[in-house]
Chain A
């Protein structure tokens, strides 16, 4: 194994730091590296420079929290994707497999339609995501009893997603084309641009709480990916571990949509990137997905705010970048997800 693959935590951390440094210099408000350097020094209380208030605001109030938020959400979504793929033993699973993203999108759309405040829209979104997943699990349970199998859950998830998708279409149909419709459309395409430090603080708390159990169960997840019965005979408490992992991954997805809108593809593509570096073992896959997810989402955000004179919605870019990358990985693995 190559050095950088063996020491993947170091390599991927360096990558994240590098992307983060780049991200500090890219944005709507033009600032030279020297200006940014003096801003940072001033903040640290070292330098004594009289910086323009506007630059200070653009950098510390808009740019830095946005970058931190992008890293957090990307890391969380990638981790949730890796977990869903393992739990459902399906490489095509993504964080919205049980309807979380669509449900959260519907909640947010309703909030915007009713012209609620930003916080209320977040709460609506969060509630929508959880409601969709509860509905999925509830229906699966009523069909198959207590131990619903992953296949039933996935199929029910598709149905529930479809229902909430119809709800989204309905809200767009009745929305005012001059005010609420553009807001809803933008929300459904995702953006990190509106993140404040307060948002980032809440994101960090919510994501830590939901990512930690996934990290702790990383080995159990590996065993689970081999099959439920095998995992049971190997002493894994399959129903408990599966439930904890699904709940946590759903929380991550709903949280991400509530704060940044619907950001597709990261949860599907990044775990595959990570797998091509560290293999299928989740003790390595989970940390690698976290680090790589942060870098990927921040890198996409850099492109989103620098490619064109106007800012591009994130969902468009994650799809445009993620989809070809996914095909590249698929081709390289000759159709089987091996190295």
Chain B
């Protein structure tokens, strides 16, 4: 379980986001929503220890998170960045085995067991056909899945994903969100993800953290936090949530629509 208490984050001592508190249990998904520039990435980087905290604390199973190089906590938190194309043509298998790095000694290289584990994970995610392809040449959607495979190879308890569905087409968004939901449940992962699309929260989130333009911060269960007013307030434009009782088993389908 990962918890954040009264976190203040920002650059050079200037706070961008303040008074953030939330916790994500095992098997839960928290989706972080908010307009551009509100500090979603800053918050993530602070939780990951890439930026120093300006205040508050980050707790892993109740103990303060230690993000120093070589710390055991880094094995337990996996970061899935937005996929970019690296300068060199690593194969997909090589990229995935990088997830073992926190478990590999500073002067050592991945063992055969590490490589076999990476391969097994690729098979589990149905990506084994990509294993020997250059990571630089697969599609954007595949690249995002490969980074998730890399994160799983780390055997983490917490998965932190920076806009995993950005730049994916509709079908790939569905594949990715289904994967996130299933992984969090089957592996008991606490998942934190950002998204630009509030529908993603309606689809997979157990909890939502909504950052507003004015600096407001609401956190809680999806049905408690996301409504017309809170979304309109957060994004500064009229937004309605519409509902249709047409899902499988007659469950309600909810979706956000913009009004221009």
A contact residues vs B (CB 8 Å cutoff):
85-86, 89-91, 216-220, 222-223, 225-227, 229-238, 240, 275, 279-281, 283, 336-339
Check if A232 sits within 8 Å of B86, measured CB to CB: no
With both beta carbons as reference points, the residue of chain B lying nearest to A92 in the complex is identified as B87
Check if B74 sits within 8 Å of A91, measured CB to CB: no
**Contact-residue bracket for chain B:** 35 or more
Check if A89 sits within 8 Å of B86, measured CB to CB: yes
Indicate whether A235 sits within 8 Å of B89 (C-beta atoms), given known contacts A220-B106, A230-B79, A283-B109. Answer: no
Residue in A89, A216, A229 whose beta carbon sits within 8 Å of that of B50 in the complex: A229
**Shortest Cβ-Cβ A-B pairs, 10 listed:** A237-B69, A338-B89, A235-B102, A280-B88, A233-B79, A234-B101, A283-B109, A216-B107, A235-B74, A338-B134
With both beta carbons as reference points, the residue of chain A lying nearest to B90 in the complex is identified as A280
A268 to chain B, nearest CB (A): 14
With both beta carbons as reference points, the residue of chain A lying nearest to B79 in the complex is identified as A233
Residue in B50, B84, B89 whose beta carbon sits within 8 Å of that of A280 in the complex: B89
B241 to chain A, nearest CB (A): 34
A98 to chain B, nearest CB (A): 18
A-B contacts counted at CB < 8 A amount to: 101
Residue in B70, B86, B91, B99 whose beta carbon sits within 8 Å of that of A237 in the complex: B70
Beyond known contacts A225-B90, A240-B69, A281-B91: 7 more, CB 8 A cutoff: A217-B107, A220-B101, A233-B78, A235-B69, A235-B71, A236-B69, A275-B88
Q: Which residues from chain B contact A218 at a C-beta distance below 8 Å?
A: 109
Indicate whether A279 sits within 8 Å of B89 (C-beta atoms), given known contacts A219-B110, A230-B81. Answer: yes
B121 to chain A, nearest CB (A): 15
Does B104 belong to the interface (CB within 8 Å)?
Answer: yes
Does B118 belong to the interface (CB within 8 Å)?
Answer: no
Q: Which residues from chain A contact B74 at a C-beta distance below 8 Å?
A: 233-235
A333 to chain B, nearest CB (A): 8
With both beta carbons as reference points, the residue of chain B lying nearest to A235 in the complex is identified as B102
Q: Which residues from chain B contact A216 at a C-beta distance below 8 Å?
A: 106-107
Check if A281 sits within 8 Å of B71, measured CB to CB: no
CA distance A280 to B91 in the complex (A): 8
Give the residues from 111 to 165 in chain B that come closer than 8 angstroms, CB to CB, to chain A: 134, 136-137, 154
Check if A235 sits within 8 Å of B110, measured CB to CB: no
Does B77 belong to the interface (CB within 8 Å)?
Answer: yes
